[in-house]
A = this chain, B = another copy of it.
Amino acid sequence: MEKVLMKGNEAICSAAIQGGCRYFFGYPITPQNEIPEYMSRELPKVGGVFLQAESEIAAINMVYGAAGAGARVMTSSSSPGIALKQEGISYICGSEVPCVIVNIMRGGPGLGGIQPSQADYYQATRGGGNGDYNLIVFAPANLQEAVDMMMEAFDLADYYRMPVMILGDGMIGQMMEPVAFRKPEPKKLEPKDWATTGTGNSRQPNIVNSLHLDPETLEVFNKKLQAKYAVVRENEVRYESYRLKDAELVFVSYGTSSRIVRNAIDDLAEQGVRVGMIRPQTLWPFPFKAFEEIGPSTRALLSVEMSEGQMVDDIKIASRGRWPVGFYGRSGGMVPLQTDIVKAAQSMLKEVK
Chain A interface (Cβ < 8 Å from any Cβ of B): 41, 47, 49, 51-55, 57-58, 61-62, 65, 79-80, 82-84, 86-87, 90-95, 105, 107-115, 117, 119-120, 122-123, 126-133, 198, 209-223, 225-226, 307-310, 313, 316-317, 319-322, 330-334
Contact = CB atoms under 8 A, between A and B. Distances in A.
B110 A91 contact: yes
Contacts of A222: 107, 308, 331-332
Contact of A215 (B209, B210, B334): B334
A128 B131 contact: no
- Which of A132, A210, A225, A308 has its CB near the most chain B CB atoms (within 10 A)? A132
A90 B94 contact: no
A260 B216 CA distance: 19
A110 B213 CA distance: 12
Nearest to A93: B109
B333 A82 contact: no
Nearest to A89: B83
B52 A58 contact: no
B107 A218 contact: yes
A139 B320 CA distance: 27
Contacts of A112: 94, 130-131, 210-212, 218
A79 B129 CA distance: 8
Contacts of A65: 52
Given A123-B130, A310-B132, A91 B111 contact: yes
Q: 7 closest A-B pairs (Cβ-Cβ)? A: A108-B131, A110-B210, A94-B110, A128-B128, A109-B131, A218-B332, A215-B333
Contacts of A322: 321
B114 A131 contact: no
Nearest to A212: B113
A125 to B, nearest CB: 8
Nearest to A217: B332
B214 A113 contact: yes
A148 to B, nearest CB: 26
B111 A132 contact: no
Contacts of A133: 108-109
Nearest to A333: B215
A332 B216 contact: yes
A324 to B, nearest CB: 10
A58 B108 CA distance: 21
A162 to B, nearest CB: 11
